[in-house]
Structure 1
Amino acid sequence: MPHILTLVAAAGALDPALLARCRQALEALGARPGTPDWLAEAEAVDLPFTDAPAELAAAAARTALDGAPVDAIAVPAEGRRKRLLVADMDSTIVTSETLDEIAAFAGLKDEIAAITRRSMNGELDFAQALHARVGMLAGLDVAALEATWQATAMMPGAATLVATMRAHGAVCCLASGGFTFFTGRVAQRLGFDHHVSNTLLIEDGKLTGKVAEPVFDRNAKLATLTRLATENALPMAATLAVGDGANDLDMIGAAGLGVAFRAKPIVATAARARVDHADLLALLFAQGYRRAEFRD
């Protein structure tokens, strides 16, 4: 089956010498590389190849890059452009972990962030970790949520990713283990078609320390991916899922293109595709979009 290896530089660092090293790595696998096709000058290039598995080709390219700030993603040539995007929010579509930032207003950021890290690394059950962290915030004024939102930054490339995919007919959904207070605002700002997440319970303007049941967890993320694919009459091969934590593993594994984005080790190791250096524009290049096709 024909495949394409896409190389994406983090900061215009993609020179012909790096491309040549990746080409040699493919040849060492027994693959037959074709003619390079530049998607963006010094930033992204496609290298078609045959006769080698995609994951082995990407791994060989990463080894050949030898620490250069360049990502290597290999995918089948057929069906590269996906029709459904399901994206995690925290540390993926936004730059921060919003629950950790809320905790700062209670003087508990370090304690709660430590639990978050263990949960995202797959060391703790997600639902139990969520209940524990939210419980520590009981009595916090809801003004902390608005203050956290005002300080929340979008991940570079997020707006262009959503706008470009939607302009080409894709459905985009934000699926987060975080909270509707934030997913609704992020979805509106970036143009997501749908958002699903957890709901913080509030009474008299203060957090109760509880979330509405059932908890939106890794199983719910996978269910959202499969439901939206079914509703839009799409095969799973036409879907893209992206995230960084252990609760994203199931949807990343099931999607046609599952991407670990600047992910925790447990996720980066398991995912078939990974972005360690570039921003979210890498997901467009991996689908074969040229920079001239990007929408803002």
Structure 2
Amino acid sequence: MLIARLIAEPETLGDNLALAMEHIEDAGWEVAGAGMLGECDDVLEMELIEEAKAPDVGAVRRILDQCFPTCDLLLSAQPIEVPRLFVSDMDSTMIGQECIDELADFAGLKERIAAITERAMRGELDFEAALRERVGLLKGLSEGAIAQCLEERIRPMDGARTLVATLKAQGCRTVLVTGGFHAFADPVAEQLGFEHVVANRLAVEGGALTGDVIGGIVDSTIKRKVLIDEAARLGEGVVSLATGDGANDIPMLEAATHGIAYRAKPKARAAADGWIERGDLTSILALYGIARENWVAA
């Protein structure tokens, strides 16, 4: 069985659904049912049953991607339940910026550092080496630039507060895990309502950045471990949700019950169980069937 839920343009939904169903059946699946969710009437749910011995889930992804361009999607091999654990990346996922790039602007290095960030997020560079290189370039920058950057540059992604608040109201534990820095992640987590933060620490001496990171690096391996450890504490079979946008998030996305890529780089999008590309972060709530009247405004 495969459950597909998606939010797409209503004007073309019927025609696109008919085309998708035809291609899906050609790929070895039977469409057992298709209709709009009662709780969220803009969400289309399709239940697919295997006909062939080895139907290709990847083919279903490609078909839906082709037939419903710019949609929000979640694919699941089991009935979709509201998660009890939510673990999310921060930069370009919960906030609209890459913190280190914005901080670099105060040192006149934004273009240079942003280019390294982009390549790292696409999976073209080793994450730890790229992070240490970028932090090294910030040596001597005033510690006060962090507070100024937070106040002037860092803003939540649309829907972030409502997503976190609503999941918490549904009994979900919320964890922010980032390859960025506690100096940014802690206030962002407080603003958005996350209960726990895992991040890197910038070294500071004499009121200026030293160009070093304190302790080990939060990389893709650590992100995955955080998700697995947090899920284990909640008990066997817990439904977990992870969100992220870059290559560094892929192991975490793959380890979660549902990994959703938010306006993501190609490698992260390809590794996820779904993506958000049409709406804001509250689309995740709709894909889980949480009725709008139960969303917590924040």
TM-score by length of 1: 0.90
Query: Letter of the aligned partner of 2:43 in structure 1?
Result: V
Q: 1:77 to 1:219 in 2, by over 3 A?
A: closer
SS in 2 for 1:85: strand
SS in 1 for 2:35: coil
Tell me if the contact between 1:157 and 1:281 (Cα under 8 Å) persists in the aligned partners. Answer: yes
Q: 1:198 to 1:59 in 2, by over 3 A?
A: same
**Which residue of the partner structure matches residue 91 of structure 1?**
92
Tell me if the contact between 2:7 and 2:44 (Cα under 8 Å) persists in the aligned partners. Answer: no
The 2-side partners of 1:51 and 1:79 are apart by: 15
SS in 2 for 1:146: helix
The reply to whether residue 62 of structure 1 matches residue 57 of structure 2 is no
- Within-5 A mapping of 1:245-260: 245-260=246-261
The 2-side partners of 1:144 and 1:121 are apart by: 27
- The alignment yields a C-alpha RMSD, in angstroms, of 1.8
Q: CA deviation at 1:75?
A: 2.2
The 2-side partners of 1:230 and 1:189 are apart by: 27
The 2-side partners of 1:49 and 1:295 are apart by: 29
Q: Deviations over 1:167-210 (max 9, x none)?
A: 01000000000000111101111111101100001111111111
Q: Deviations over 1:5-54 (max 9, x none)?
A: 22224xxx433x3144224412432232333225445xx31323131566
The reply to whether residue 45 of structure 1 matches residue 43 of structure 2 is yes
- Within-5 A mapping of 1:189-228: 189-228=191-230
SS in 2 for 1:35: strand
Query: Letter of the aligned partner of 1:207 in structure 2?
Result: L
Q: 1:46 to 1:77 in 2, by over 3 A?
A: farther
Query: Letter of the aligned partner of 2:13 in structure 1?
Result: L
**Which residue of the partner structure matches residue 114 of structure 1?**
115
Q: 1:275 to 1:159 in 2, by over 3 A?
A: same
The 2-side partners of 1:284 and 1:272 are apart by: 15
Selected match of 1:28 from 5, 23, 33: 23
The reply to whether residue 80 of structure 1 matches residue 81 of structure 2 is yes
Tell me if the contact between 1:62 and 1:71 (Cα under 8 Å) persists in the aligned partners. Answer: no
Q: Deviations over 1:200-222 (max 9, x none)?
A: 01111111111112111111101
Query: Letter of the aligned partner of 2:37 in structure 1?
Result: D
- Within-5 A mapping of 1:127-166: 127-150=128-151, 151-166=153-168
Query: Letter of the aligned partner of 2:60 in structure 1?
Result: A
Q: CA deviation at 1:80?
A: 2.3
Tell me if the contact between 1:14 and 1:70 (Cα under 8 Å) persists in the aligned partners. Answer: no
Query: Letter of the aligned partner of 1:101 in structure 2?
Result: E
Q: What runs of 5+ residues in structure 1 fail to find an aligned partner?
A: none
Q: What runs of 5+ residues in structure 2 fail to find an aligned partner?
A: 51-55
The 2-side partners of 1:263 and 1:186 are apart by: 20
The 2-side partners of 1:54 and 1:36 are apart by: 22
Q: 1:35 to 1:268 in 2, by over 3 A?
A: closer
SS in 1 for 2:226: helix
Query: Letter of the aligned partner of 1:57 in structure 2?
Result: V
The 2-side partners of 1:211 and 1:81 are apart by: 37
SS in 2 for 1:285: helix
SS in 2 for 1:51: strand
The reply to whether residue 284 of structure 1 matches residue 285 of structure 2 is yes
The reply to whether residue 14 of structure 1 matches residue 5 of structure 2 is no
The 1-side partners of 2:259 and 2:223 are apart by: 13
Q: CA deviation at 1:286?
A: 2.0
The 2-side partners of 1:35 and 1:152 are apart by: 40
Query: Letter of the aligned partner of 2:132 in structure 1?
Result: H
Identity %: 37
Q: 1:234 to 1:159 in 2, by over 3 A?
A: farther
Q: CA deviation at 1:55?
A: 4.9
Query: Letter of the aligned partner of 1:14 in structure 2?
Result: P
Deviates more, 1:260-269 or 1:248-257: 260-269
Tell me if the contact between 2:40 and 2:289 (Cα under 8 Å) persists in the aligned partners. Answer: no
The 2-side partners of 1:224 and 1:235 are apart by: 16
Q: CA deviation at 1:122?
A: 0.7
The 1-side partners of 2:293 and 2:14 are apart by: 21
